[in-house]
Amino acid sequence: MPTRFLCLTALAVVPSVLSAATLEHVFDGGHMPGEQTIPWNYHSQPGTKVSVDNGVLRVVDDGTAKGQLQSISFPWSADPDGEARVDADVKVLRCSGPAGVVLLAANGKYEAAITLYPDHIDAPSLGASAPARLDDAFHRITMVLRGCDLRILVDGRTVIDLAGKWNRPAHEGRNVISFGSISSAATGEALWRCVRGVTTYPDVTPYPGAEHHVVYRQPGVYACFPSLAKTPEGWFVARFGTRALRSHIDPTGGSASRISKDGGRTWTEPPGPFFASASDVVRADGNLALAGAVGWRHVPESRRVEFEAKGIHVRPSMKGMVAYASGARFCVTKPDGKSSIKPWTPIEVPPHQVMMGYNQAACLNLGDGVRLVSIYGDTPDNRRDAYALRTTNDGDSWACLAIAHGEPDLGFNETALGTNATGHVIALMRTAETPRDRGFLYQSVSTDGGQTWSAPRNTGMWGYPAHILTLPDGRLIATYGYRRAPMGIRATISRDGGRTWDTNGTMILRADAHGNGSDLGYPVSALVENGTVLTVYYFNDAENVTHIAATRWQPPALNP
Domain boundaries, the chain: 6-200, 207-226+237-273, 277-523
Least confident of 147-156, 195-204, 505-514: 195-204
CA count, 13 A, side-chain hemisphere, 472: 8
Asked whether the predicted pLDDT for residue 521 surpasses 50, the reply is: yes
Partner residues linked to 108 by β-bridges: none
- Give me the mean pLDDT over the 205-212 stretch: 94
Partner residues linked to 27 by β-bridges: 195
* Whole-number Å distance between alpha carbons of 494 and 478: 8
Partner residues linked to 89 by β-bridges: 140, 194
pLDDT 10s digits, 368-390: 999 999 999 999 998 999 999 99
Which bin fits 515, alpha (ψ -120 to 50), beta or left (φ > 0)? Answer: left
* Whole-number Å distance between alpha carbons of 468 and 316: 33
* Whole-number Å distance between alpha carbons of 38 and 9: 8
Average pLDDT value over all residues in the chain: 90
Q: What is the pTM of this model?
A: 0.84
Report in angstroms the alpha-carbon separations of 560 from 495, 527, 553, 556, 557. 12, 22, 21, 12, 9
- Give me the mean pLDDT over the 202-213 stretch: 91
* Whole-number Å distance between alpha carbons of 364 and 415: 11
* Whole-number Å distance between alpha carbons of 193 and 4: 28
Confidence grade of residue 86 (pLDDT, cut at 50, 70, 90): very high
* Whole-number Å distance between alpha carbons of 220 and 222: 7
* Whole-number Å distance between alpha carbons of 405 and 328: 18
- The full DSSP string for 323-339 is EEE--EEEEEE-TTS-S
pLDDT 10s digits, 18-77: 333 478 889 999 999 989 988 899 888 889 999 999 999 999 999 999 888 899 999 888
Q: Tell me which of 163 and 559 has the higher pLDDT.
A: 163
CB-based contacts of 344, cutoff 8 Å, min separation 6 = 329, 330, 331
Asked whether the predicted pLDDT for residue 277 surpasses 70, the reply is: yes
- Give me the mean pLDDT over the 160-189 stretch: 91
Confidence grade of residue 157 (pLDDT, cut at 50, 70, 90): very high
* Whole-number Å distance between alpha carbons of 373 and 295: 14
- Give me the mean pLDDT over the 359-364 stretch: 96
Burial class (CB in 10 A: 0-12, 13-18, 19+), 554: middle
Confidence grade of residue 544 (pLDDT, cut at 50, 70, 90): confident
Asked whether the predicted pLDDT for residue 3 surpasses 80, the reply is: no
Neighbours of 455 (CB within 10 A): 10
What b-and-e string marks burial along 483-510, b requiring 16 or more CB atoms within 10 Å of the CB?
bbbbbbbbbbbbbebbeebbeeebbbbb
Q: Tell me which of 433 and 297 has the higher pLDDT.
A: 297
What is the pLDDT, as a whole number, of residue 488? 94
Q: CA 393: distance to chain centroid?
A: 35
* Whole-number Å distance between alpha carbons of 138 and 134: 7
- Give me the mean pLDDT over the 440-466 stretch: 97
- The CATH label, of 2.60.120.200, 1.10.1060.10, 3.40.50.2300, 3.30.590.10, for the domain at 6-200 is 2.60.120.200
CB-based contacts of 338, cutoff 8 Å, min separation 6 = none
Asked whether the predicted pLDDT for residue 15 surpasses 80, the reply is: no
State how beta strands 139-146 and 84-95 pair: antiparallel
Partner residues linked to 94 by β-bridges: 189
Least confident of 13-17, 207-211, 234-238, 276-280: 13-17
What is the pLDDT, as a whole number, of residue 67? 84
Which bin fits 198, alpha (ψ -120 to 50), beta or left (φ > 0)? Answer: beta
* Whole-number Å distance between alpha carbons of 112 and 128: 11
- Give me the mean pLDDT over the 226-232 stretch: 93
CA count, 13 A, side-chain hemisphere, 417: 28
Confidence grade of residue 480 (pLDDT, cut at 50, 70, 90): very high
**Please, what's the largest Cα pairwise distance for the chain?**
78
Report in angstroms the alpha-carbon separations of 53 from 11, 43, 68. 18, 19, 22
Q: What percentage of residues in the chain have a pLDDT greater than 90?
A: 74
- The CATH label, of 2.40.128.30, 2.120.10.10, 2.40.30.110, 3.40.50.720, for the domain at 277-523 is 2.120.10.10
Burial class (CB in 10 A: 0-12, 13-18, 19+), 398: buried
Single-letter code of the amino acid located at 188? G
Confidence grade of residue 435 (pLDDT, cut at 50, 70, 90): low
- DSSP-derived letter for residue 307 is H
Confidence grade of residue 17 (pLDDT, cut at 50, 70, 90): very low
* Whole-number Å distance between alpha carbons of 118 and 133: 6
Neighbours of 68 (CB within 10 A): 18
- Give me the mean pLDDT over the 82-109 stretch: 94
* Whole-number Å distance between alpha carbons of 525 and 535: 4
Confidence grade of residue 433 (pLDDT, cut at 50, 70, 90): low
Report in angstroms the alpha-carbon separations of 257 from 182, 242, 272, 335, 537. 43, 10, 10, 16, 14
What is the pLDDT, as a whole number, of residue 11? 29
Asked whether the predicted pLDDT for residue 359 surpasses 50, the reply is: yes
pLDDT 10s digits, 117-130: 999 999 988 889 99
* Whole-number Å distance between alpha carbons of 101 and 140: 15
> Do 426 and 420 touch, CB atoms closer than 8 A?
yes
- In sign, the C-alpha dihedral spanning 247, 249, 253, 254 is positive
Asked whether the predicted pLDDT for residue 2 surpasses 70, the reply is: no
Confidence grade of residue 248 (pLDDT, cut at 50, 70, 90): confident
